[in-house]
């Protein structure tokens, strides 16, 4: 479990030998038009219409995007669900007004 609390960037060192799906929990401290996350997929992950205090969960294991249990996939723009690769992963957010939790388990193949 990695925390990015109101910061723009964090480097995560992932153990394992194969890429692993990630679960990303985002809780905005203010309403946001959008949030861009880089470093969790080959292309950016963009979430739109974020509301203060309402947690959004992008689940790379289950393939879902939920805001307080309700489907929010229509407010996203990405090609693949979040994942991390073995070694160094640098995660970047374009705004520092969110608390972000990244959950993952190392994979060995």
2-104: which CATH topology? Jelly Rolls (2.60.120)
What is the DSSP code string of 18-65? B-EEEEEEEEESS-EEEEEEESSSSS-EEEEEE-TT--EEEETTTTEE
CA-closest candidate to residue 38, choices 102, 87, 105, 104: 102
pLDDT digits 0-9 by tens, 13-64: 999 999 999 999 999 999 999 999 999 999 999 999 999 999 999 999 999 9
pLDDT digits 0-9 by tens, 76-102: 999 999 999 999 999 999 999 999 999
Could you give the CA distance from residue 109 to residue 40 in angstroms, rounded to a whole number? 20
The full set of domain ranges for the chain reads 2-104
Q: What is the pTM of this model?
A: 0.94
| Phi, psi for residue 108 in degrees, rounded to 5 | -120, 130
What is the DSSP code string of 4-26? EES-SEEEEEE-SSB-EEEEEEE
């Amino acid at each position: 479990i990695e925390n990015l609390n109101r910061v723009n960037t964090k480097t995560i060192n992932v153990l394992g030998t194969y890429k692993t799906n990630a679960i990303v929990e985002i809780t905005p401290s203010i309403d946001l038009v959008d949030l861009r996350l880089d470093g969790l997929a080959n292309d950016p992950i963009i979430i739109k219409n974020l509301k203060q205090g309402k947690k959004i969960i992008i689940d790379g294991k289950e393939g879902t995007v939920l805001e307080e249990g309700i489907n929010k996939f229509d407010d996203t723009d990405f090609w693949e669900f979040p994942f991390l690769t073995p070694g160094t992963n640098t995660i970047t957010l374009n705004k520092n007004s969110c608390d972000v939790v990244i959950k993952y388990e190392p994979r060995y193949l």
